[in-house]
Amino acid sequence: MTISADRVAPDAIGLDWRELDTPALLVDLDRLEANIDWMAGHAGAGGVVHRPHFKTHKSVAIARRQLGAGAIGITVAKLDEAEALVDGGIDASILVAFQLASPFKLERALRLAGRVPLILAVDSAAGVGLLADAATAAGRVAEVWIEIDSGLRRCGVLPGEAADLARVVTAQESLRLTGLFTHAGQSYAARDPRDVAAIAGTEASAVVAAAEAVRAIGIPIATVSAGSTPTAQFLDASSGITEIRPGTYVFYDALQVALGSAGADQCALSIATTVISRPAADRAVIDAGSKTFGLDRGAHSSDLLVGYGAVQEIDGTLARLSEEHGMLDIPAGSPLAIGDRVRIVPNHVCTVSNLARRTYGLRDGIVREVIEIDAAGGVH
């Protein structure tokens, strides 16, 4: 697949990335396309569909490319991400992989379900009751998946509890149960690919066991969905799952490289910064801090990462961040000067997208398109 320039800020197009004002998010379009194609091919070869997670990029234009490469639908972490997709013209099915518990959000979700195939998540009888009542009030039948806890200890029922909750869902006329899903986010705290593979095994067996228990009481389950970027690489239909939901793979980041999910040459997103101060021989200060990079050091694995991002091209470590400043430790003889540009791959790309409004898509270092971050961060 090839990305066309469908959203363009004309005055950036054609510039070298070093000519952009900073901080700026840069996307290597060749790598982005290769990453999207690789995951689509991996899913297809493994006999599963894929439903990529929107939270990583929050960009309708990138979601459209994922769908164009064969994704069956999109996963979102919050309702306003789903609304941004639908407002942006996406009509594929959307999984809101999050329990909605406020009447405002339930009402909005059911309104959105009138515009696009929407799948909502439940993990408790109380949540089923709230959703069923809201669906009844809206005059709709809501499609529902049950969340299974495969070891993250966040939301979700344990596999042994799935059949009981499935009975509660199917007792509601305003709900239609069609799938189970899980997310083994503990894979982000793995130390190496062997750990990740083991977690992927646990993830698949938990959600498949839950599906078998539900089917055993006569309730059909079409979709058995699992996966994060690290575990998705180890998942295929042989385990009994039918769908994977990776997110970070579109860009990868320093944490994914540390986990062995990607090589450094697959990282598609970096942050362009400018040196604003050279106050000491071994220190350069750049114009991006925690309000650009976030403070992620990885879950339980900060010793796998060096500083707050992977410095590109030059020798240096992003050793400290304050809110708008980044402090680079550099060799004492470094020629780095005020005004120089420095490019850095972030530790955790989902945080970075959330803190920005757009990315600049590059080929061979030249801006070819501007990609809006439609659902950029913002508690409303």
Q: Which residue ranges make up the site for a copy of itself (CB under 8 A)?
A: 21-25, 55, 77-78, 98-102, 104-105, 123-124, 126-127, 130, 149, 153-157, 185, 271, 274-280, 283, 285, 287-288, 290-292, 294-296, 320, 322-325, 327, 337-339, 350-351, 354-358, 376-380
CA pair distance 265, 284, nearest whole angstrom: 25
Q: Decide whether 30 or 133 has the Cβ nearer to a copy of itself.
A: 133
CA pair distance 169, 156, nearest whole angstrom: 14
Provide the minimum distance between the beta carbon of 244 and a copy of itself in the complex, in angstroms, as a whole number: 19
Provide the minimum distance between the beta carbon of 346 and a copy of itself in the complex, in angstroms, as a whole number: 11
Provide the minimum distance between the beta carbon of 236 and a copy of itself in the complex, in angstroms, as a whole number: 26
Provide the minimum distance between the beta carbon of 339 and a copy of itself in the complex, in angstroms, as a whole number: 5
**Alpha carbon distances (Å) from 94 to 76, 116, 135, 142, 303:** 7, 8, 17, 12, 36
Q: 84 Cβ partners below 8 Å, 6+ apart?
A: 58, 60, 374, 375
Query: With contact defined as beta carbons under 8 Å apart, do 285 and 327 qualify?
Result: yes
Provide the minimum distance between the beta carbon of 1 and a copy of itself in the complex, in angstroms, as a whole number: 27
Helical H segments across 88-240, by residue range: 103-112, 125-138, 162-170, 193-216, 229-232
**Alpha carbon distances (Å) from 301 to 9, 72, 185, 190, 244:** 39, 33, 13, 8, 24
Provide the minimum distance between the beta carbon of 250 and a copy of itself in the complex, in angstroms, as a whole number: 16
Q: Decide whether 60 or 336 has the Cβ nearer to a copy of itself.
A: 336
Q: Decide whether 102 or 238 has the Cβ nearer to a copy of itself.
A: 102
Q: Decide whether 97 or 262 has the Cβ nearer to a copy of itself.
A: 97
Q: Decide whether 63 or 349 has the Cβ nearer to a copy of itself.
A: 349
DSSP 7: S
First to last CA, the chain: 35
Q: Decide whether 240 or 302 has the Cβ nearer to a copy of itself.
A: 302
Residue 56 identity: T
Q: Decide whether 3 or 155 has the Cβ nearer to a copy of itself.
A: 155
Q: 64 Cβ partners below 8 Å, 6+ apart?
A: 90
**Tokens standing for 15?**
């510039």
Q: Decide whether 237 or 312 has the Cβ nearer to a copy of itself.
A: 312
DSSP 347: S
CA pair distance 23, 341, nearest whole angstrom: 10
Closest CA to 47 of 255, 236, 315: 236
Provide the minimum distance between the beta carbon of 365 and a copy of itself in the complex, in angstroms, as a whole number: 18
Q: Decide whether 46 or 361 has the Cβ nearer to a copy of itself.
A: 361
Provide the minimum distance between the beta carbon of 317 and a copy of itself in the complex, in angstroms, as a whole number: 15
HEC per residue, 268-301? CEEEEEEEEEEEECCEEEECCCHHHHCCCCCCCC
Q: How far is CA 378 from the centre of its chain?
A: 17
Provide the minimum distance between the beta carbon of 329 and a copy of itself in the complex, in angstroms, as a whole number: 11
